[in-house]
C-alpha cells in the first residue's frame, strides 16, 4: 500500500488517536465480514509517509485478491491506497519476514516555500552542499552500533544495524536522501539526516560520523529532522 501520513498518528493502531492500522482493520473487517487484525512491516511515526508499505492478515473469506484491492480502495479515504494483494505462505509475517527497507528523506532546497510540499518535504532555504553530504553519508554504510542515532525514548539493547547504501540525489530544487538497511532504530533516519544538515552548517565536522558512532551518545549527533519529509520507500522480502 501507499499512504500520506499527515492526518495520522503513525501506522500502528492507537487507542486514543487514529493510526493507519485502525482505518485498515475497520475497512477490511467490513469487507470480509469478520474481525481482521493485521501485522505491519514497520512502525512509522506521526506524519511519516509511505510509497511502499506491506502488511499481512489472515482471513477465512474466499474473496479473490484482486477483489480485495478493488473493495478496500472503495472504502479507504483518499490518502490511503492498497496497491496490490497476494496470498502468502502460512508462516509469512509482514514484519518478521522483512529482509530490508529503503527510506527516502525529501528536502525542498530553495528560498521560497512550496505550498504543495508543505507537509511532504522539509523546506531548507539555505545552500545545501550535496557533494559534501554524499561523502559524509558514506560513513554510515556498513554494520555499526547506531545508539547515537536512536531517539532516547525507545533505545533497544541490540542497536547494531547494517546500512547497505546512503545515496543523495538532486533534481532542480529537490534533494533526495535514500538509505537502505536491514533495519532501523527509532528516529534513526531522521537523526542521520539531521546530522548531515549539521555538517552542512559547520556545526559538526565532515569526518565526525565515525566518532559519533563510536561514542554511543545521542547528544553528539545532529537534530531530529521533522517527520513530514520521511517516506518508507521500498520493502524487501
Residue 153 pLDDT greater than 60, yes or no: no
Q: Which residues are catalytic?
A: 45
Nearest-angstrom CA–CA distance, 111 and 210 = 32
Contact 3, 53 (CB under 8 A): yes
pLDDT bucket at 218, cuts 50 / 70 / 90: very high
Going through the chain in order, the beta strands assigned E by DSSP cover: 2-3, 38-40, 49-50, 55-57, 80-81, 100-108, 122-123, 142-145, 160-171, 174-181, 230-236
pLDDT digits 0-9 by tens, 63-89: 999 999 999 999 999 999 999 999 999
129-150 pLDDT per residue, tens: 999 999 999 999 999 999 999 9
pLDDT digits (tens, 9 = 90+) for 167-209: 999 999 999 999 999 999 999 999 999 999 999 999 999 999 9
User: In order of start, what are the domains of the chain with their CATH numbers?
Assistant: 2-81 (3.30.70.580), 100-236 (3.30.70.660)
> Which carries the bigger pLDDT value, residue 195 or residue 14?
195
Q: Look-up: residue for cell 558514506?
A: 138
> Grid cell 509511505 — which residue?
50
SS3 content of the chain, % helix, strand, coil (to 5): 30, 25, 45
DSSP notation for 49-91? EESS--EEE-------HHHHHHHHHHHS-TTEE--------TT
Please say whether the beta carbons of 150 and 188 come within 8 A: yes
pTM score: 0.94
Q: What is the torsional sign of CA 122, 123, 126, 131?
A: positive
Amino acid at each position: 500500500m501507499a499512504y500520506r501520513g499527515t492526518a495520522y498518528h503513525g501506522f500502528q493502531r492507537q487507542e486514543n488517536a487514529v493510526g493507519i492500522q485502525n482505518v485498515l482493520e475497520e475497512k477490511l473487517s467490513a469487507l470480509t465480514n469478520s474481525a481482521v487484525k493485521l501485522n505491519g512491516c514497520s512502525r512509522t511515526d506521526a506524519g511519516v509517509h509511505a510509497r511502499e508499505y506491506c502488511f499481512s492478515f489472515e482471513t477465512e473469506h474466499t474473496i479473490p485478491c484482486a477483489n480485495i484491492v478493488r473493495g478496500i480502495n472503495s472504502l479507504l479515504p483518499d490518502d490511503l491506497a492498497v496497491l496490490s494483494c497476494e496470498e502468502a505462505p502460512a508462516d509469512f509475517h509482514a514484519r518478521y519476514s522483512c529482509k530490508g527497507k529503503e527510506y527516502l528523506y525529501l528536502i525542498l532546497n530553495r528560498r521560497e516555500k512550496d505550498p504543495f510540499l508543505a507537509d511532504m518535504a522539509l523546506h531548507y532555504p539555505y545552500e545545501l552542499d550535496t557533494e559534501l553530504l554524499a561523502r559524509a553519508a558514506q560513513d554510515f554504510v556498513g554494520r555499526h552500533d547506531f545508539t547515537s542515532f536512536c531517539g532516547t525514548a525507545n533505545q533497544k539493547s541490540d542497536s547494531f544495524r547494517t546500512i547497505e547504501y546512503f545515496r543523495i540525489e538532486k533534481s532542480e530544487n529537490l534533494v533526495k536522501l535514500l538509505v537502505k538497511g536491514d533495519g532501523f532504530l527509532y528516529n534513526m533516519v531522521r537523526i542521520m539526516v539531521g546530522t548531515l544538515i549539521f555538517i552542512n552548517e559547520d556545526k559538526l565536522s565532515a569526518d565526525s560520523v565515525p566518532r559519533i558512532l563510536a561514542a554511543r551518545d545521542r547528544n553528539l549527533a545532529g537534530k531530529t529532522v521533522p517527520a513530514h519529509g520521511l517516506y518508507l520507500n521500498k520493502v524487501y522480502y
